[in-house]
Amino acid sequence: MNRFSGRRNKSDQYFDFSLLFIVLFLLGFGMVMIYSTSSYEASKDYGDAAYYLKKQAIATTLGIAAMIVTANIPYHFWERFAVAGYVISAVLICLVLTPLGVKVKGARRWLDFGIGLRLQPAEIAKLCMILFLASMVCRMGRSIRTMKGFVIVLSVPLPISLMIWQITDNLSSAIIIFGIAALMLFVSSPDYKKFIVLSAGGLAVAAGMVYTIKQMADAEGLGFRGERILAWLDPEAYASGKGFQTLQALYAIGSGGVFGKGLGQSMQKLGFIPEAQNDMIFSIICEELGLFGAIAIILLFLLLIWRFMIIANNAPDLFGALLVVGVMGHIAIQVILNIAVVTNTIPNTGISLPFISYGGSSVMFLLIEIGLVLSVSHSIRLKEV
């Protein structure tokens, strides 16, 4: 038997039960933390302490059903919809500008179809981008190793990223989509020099922007992103404004200690951290479960990424491997950005923690992506060695 764990069935096919268990555990843990984090605000605003929990439970149930269906469909079936998915995601982003677009908490990022269903086009775009890039890289073959191929692949996500940034004002999702493309290209191309230059250029541009904004700190018209960068550099100077959420999150992390105050015992969730069940849920985990709980969750995500790597390495073809790499990149980038924001390592970008933060569209499409990965794992053939 080869070295990765699995069960034999009659057709000697592999199915990654470890991956499935980790995902289900994260979903269950997320439900517990959403209720713990949101019960006070939900009771005050809606008269139902389980308001957010119920909505998340519905989205999770639909997502699990979609995951099961996707996992049982051969993953090559979806390749024929790669171009259509790219176009549809672009159209859905544009629909945010129509009456179907809904503004929630000051951000116009959702579509409401009037049947009790709201979708965030950015989440659909992430899934469609993974599918489109996997198909495109396979079709390009060796030409992807040339400078022209390199530029073409990195140009593909730019229109969608720019649309998400400008139309839905969601810079974090735009960054994630471009990051997914860069990782998939990195895995496909053996020439790492281009990526070193690309990374160095990106860091130089970011550093230049931060320096410029810092020099213009007293100027007007910086915009809320400029104010967020200033608040990141000195959150205490903006404690009543853009630095408020970050400071409260840091207080929560610091007060948790090693083992935390206990589940449900957070003080910062009592109106101090705005929308704590969303982007800042990791800070409440740190406060209630301490450093021990935070490290445990990080280790679970590392295990999840490891399972992705095992499946990608053993995938029967490049298309399957790239699908898994794309999903791995999506989840890994989002986890890193979320924890970095909560700990004030980077400016606040407003990004959720996969499977744990509140968000129906996010959890549904993440589970569909997991279904794709499970479909790839199911195609792996076990053999005696």
What is the pLDDT at residue 179? 93
- CB-CB contact of 308 with 328 (8 Å): yes
Q: What is the pLDDT of residues 187-231, one digit of tens each?
A: 888 777 888 888 888 889 888 888 888 777 666 666 667 778 888
What is the pLDDT at residue 191? 75
113 burial type by CB count under 10 A (0-12 exposed, 13-18 middle, 19+ buried):
exposed
Q: What single DSSP character describes residue 141?
A: G
What is the pLDDT at residue 222? 65
What is the pLDDT at residue 350? 78
Q: Which residues of the chain have pLDDT under 50?
A: 1-11, 384-385
Residue 6 lies in a domain: no
Residue 317 lies in a domain: yes
- CB-CB contact of 261 with 288 (8 Å): yes
What is the pLDDT at residue 125? 94
Q: Which of 20, 8, 33 is nearest to 356 (CA)?
A: 33
Type of residue numbered 48? D
Residue 12 lies in a domain: no
- CB-CB contact of 108 with 96 (8 Å): yes
Residue 224 lies in a domain: yes
Residues sharing a CB contact under 8 Å with residue 305, sequence separation 6 or more, in sequence order = 328, 331, 332
- CB-CB contact of 31 with 60 (8 Å): yes
What is the pLDDT at residue 261? 92
Full domain range(s) for residue 354:
17-378
What is the pLDDT at residue 27? 96
What is the pLDDT at residue 4? 40
Residue 354 lies in a domain: yes
Residue 240 lies in a domain: yes
Residues sharing a CB contact under 8 Å with residue 246, sequence separation 6 or more, in sequence order = 231, 232, 235, 344, 348
What is the pLDDT at residue 218? 64
Domain count, the chain: 1
